[in-house]
A = this chain, B = another copy of it.
Amino acid sequence: MNKSHENTALSFERVLFFSDAVFAIVITLLVLELKAPHMDRAVFTEEAMRHELFDLLPKFLGFVYSFFIVGLLWIEHHRIFRYIVDWDFGLVARNLLFLLFVAFIPFPTALFSENYYSRTAFILYAGCFGLAALGKLWVWRYAVSKRETMLAADVDDELIKQISMRSLAVPIVCLIAIGLSFIAVAFGGFAFPLIPLVANLLYRKKKEVTA
């Protein structure tokens, strides 16, 4: 078995397909944490139902928040894999570790939604996203370390730096969120909308002079 054999032993397309499927399942499983309340017809009033649904508000917010953060991780995952043209067992193993954190997300989402006043739950929640984002960065840095063979020819230093720097936005915001949660748990969630801002602070594209 020669080297080229080893490199293609795993069809890359299937690695991406597998990753996409895990993302799609995770993003859809999030809704299973929302248990529909049941009220017996005998005691039922519309007002009581509205009250029950209102009590589910933290869970709705958790669903929406996690949906968009998983969506963001999926978009970023695609972005880096657009530039990766070759792979090996090391890349697949790092990608699997990244997917472990993604697949785990429904748990901290459920935990924090159920106990939205718990700092411990919030730290697990923000920590899981931060670790997933770091896992993605690890995949990228591994590919960069084998740049000669793994990255597309038109990937330049500027682009590598841009992706690497901007990839730090989610982990940094998660750290800020955990820090804020020590003042008050409710403050933690306010940090997430900072992600695009921090990404821009970390790396701003130079003005392009287009012909």
Contact = CB atoms under 8 A, between A and B. Distances in A.
Nearest to A154: B5
Nearest to A117: B41
A165 to B, nearest CB: 14
Given A21-B21, A115-B49, A124-B53, A78 B10 contact: yes
Q: For the side of the interface on A, what is the size category?
A: 35 or more
Nearest to A63: B104
Contact of A25 (B9, B10, B21, B34): B21
A124 B34 CA distance: 14
Given A20-B21, A21-B24, A28-B25, A92 B115 contact: no
A187 interface: no
20 contacts: A5-B154, A10-B79, A11-B78, A14-B16, A18-B20, A20-B21, A28-B103, A31-B104, A33-B36, A36-B107, A36-B110, A36-B111, A36-B113, A44-B117, A49-B120, A49-B121, A53-B111, A63-B104, A68-B100, A71-B96
Interface of A: 1-3, 5, 8-11, 14, 16-18, 20-39, 41, 44, 46, 49-50, 53, 63-64, 67-68, 71, 74-75, 78-79, 82, 89, 92, 96, 99-100, 103-104, 106-107, 110-111, 113-115, 117-121, 124, 154, 158-159, 162, 205, 208, 210
